[in-house]
Amino acid sequence: MPWKYSEKVLRLFTEAVQGKAGTHMGEIDHPDGFGEHGSIVCGDALRFSFRVARHPSDPARDVITEARYLTFGCTSAIASSEALCSLLEAGAKTPIEALQVTNRDLVDFLGGLPEEKIHCSVMGAEALQKAVIDWSRKRGVDLTGLLPPQELEGEEEGRLVCKCFSLTEPFLRRKIRELELRTIEEVTNATKAGGACGSCHYAPGGLQDLLGEIWGEAPAAEPPPAAEGAPGADRVSPYRLGKAVEAAIDEHIRPSLKAEGGDIELIDIKENLVYCRLAGACEACHGAQQTLRLLVESRLKDRVDDRLRVIEV
């Protein structure tokens, strides 16, 4: 489905993809802080790094001077990453002050995000926290009391609740409390948990059970019927998915490629994998991989289904 983005989201995304001066897509060699969140396998991933001006005597007073990211995701994921870097650099923040930047700050900076895309801003805030933890270990700064113990110790070893997106129980419990998530839909929008197959919605120890335990509410006796098009409902048929992908390519992707002397050929679709081949000037372009990921895949995610991944043939 098409998402309604603010003008600022679209501008930041376009400028980042074009590599315009002042944007932040890239990596820092030997960064002072580095963090990752998400998984390329799951469809969204962010690598975030920053460099500081070191204070001569007090590491806690280091100041972030440069921030960069590499994002595998949609329009809102890239725009949220740009927002994060801009907020940090413009504010001349210390890494400890950077911990105060929340996903709500990113959403406000962007002029809003669709509810279904809030997880993109959460992804940036999570990667930032991990980068600050990395900096603190390198510089010997004690973050005890500034972050919950489970964040400092890592949450990767907890029980897996959402297998589709590899999200653990400790992580989900923290985000439910931190963001005051009250419904399965809110949890999915903020974290993507349950956004693919939906099997963790009402499974024992799943999202509904976690919500009931955290907020002291009785779990639903029976799961409500899935609405058409909702996670867990019947998936779109291969035929309808194919037609939607073809329409998105013809209307929103091919014209942009042809303007640069290129074209695209749709080869096949298998579940959420879209196999494509670039043609014309785009075929031999050194930026072909970026074109597939940042233009083709991003627009298919926005216009058709954000679970889609583009594979070069």
Helix/strand/coil for 119:
helix
Q: What are phi and psi of 304, to 5 degrees?
A: -120, -65
Q: Closest by alpha carbon to 46, among 5, 76, 4, 7?
A: 76
Contact 274, 309 (CB under 8 A): yes
> And the tokens for 87?
């907020």
Helix/strand/coil for 14:
helix
Where do the H-state alpha helices sit in the chain? 7-18, 75-91, 95-98, 103-109, 118-139, 149-153, 169-178, 184-191, 207-215, 238-248, 254-258, 288-290, 298-303
**Which residues are known to be catalytic?**
42, 120
First to last CA, the chain: 25
Contact 29, 108 (CB under 8 A): no
> And the tokens for 184?
């399965």
Cβ neighbors of 207 (< 8 A, separation 6 or more) are 161, 162, 172, 184, 187, 188, 193, 194, 200, 201
